[in-house]
Amino acid sequence: MGIFEIIFISVSLSMDAFAVSVCKGLSMKKLDWKKAFIISGYFGVFQALMPVIGYFLGTAFSDLVTNIDHWIAFILLGIIGGNMVKESFDDEVEKRNDDVDFKTMIVLAIATSIDALAVGITFAFLKTSIILPVIFIGVITFFMSLLGIKLGNKFGDKFQNKAELLGGVILILIGLKILLEHLGII
C-alpha cells in the first residue's frame, strides 16, 4: 500500500471524528483550546489504537482467509464507506454538548473509531505494515478534529455531511482498487 493510499485512508477514517468535532465546536460559545486538544487527543489516540487491535485480530485469522482477503478488504471498506455515505444524508441532529469528561469522550472516541478496527483487519489481510498507517491515522485524525472544532465553532454544521460523504466515497474507491488489483484488472 502506497503513501497516498495511506493518507486517503487516514483522512477518510478521520471524517467521523471531524463531524463529531464540528458538533463539539458548534456547542462551544467561545472556542476553548484546552477542550479542543482533549477532544482531538481522544479521537486521534482511538483512531490509531483501533487499527492495531484489528490488525492483530486479522493476523490471527489470516491463514484461514488468504485466498479471499482482497474480497474481504473490498467488502469491509465498501460497508464502512457505504455507511458513511448513508449517514451523510441523514438529517438527524446529533446531541451537541462540549463536555470532555472521560465517560462522554470514551463513548464518542470508540463510536467514531469502530471503522478503523475493520481497516486494521484489512491491513492484516493485505499483509501491510501497520506502523506507518497507524501514525498517519492518529496524527491526521488529531488535526482533522482540531479543524472540525474550529470550523464548527465558526461556521456551524454546514460541512459535517459533506465531510462524511467524501470520506465514504474515498473508502469505497480504495476497496474497489484493492479488489481490481488482486484480480489483475489494474
Count how many domains the chain has.
1
More confident residue, 159 or 122: 122
Is pLDDT above 90 for 85? no
Q: What band does 78 get if pLDDT is binned at 50, 70 and 90?
A: confident
| Selection from 113, 108, 110 nearest residue 97 by Cα | 108
Is pLDDT above 90 for 130? yes
Length of the chain, in residues? 186
pLDDT of residue 159: 64
Residue ranges making up the domain that contains 41: 3-182
Give the DSSP letter of residue 66: G
Is pLDDT above 90 for 117? no
Is pLDDT above 80 for 116? yes
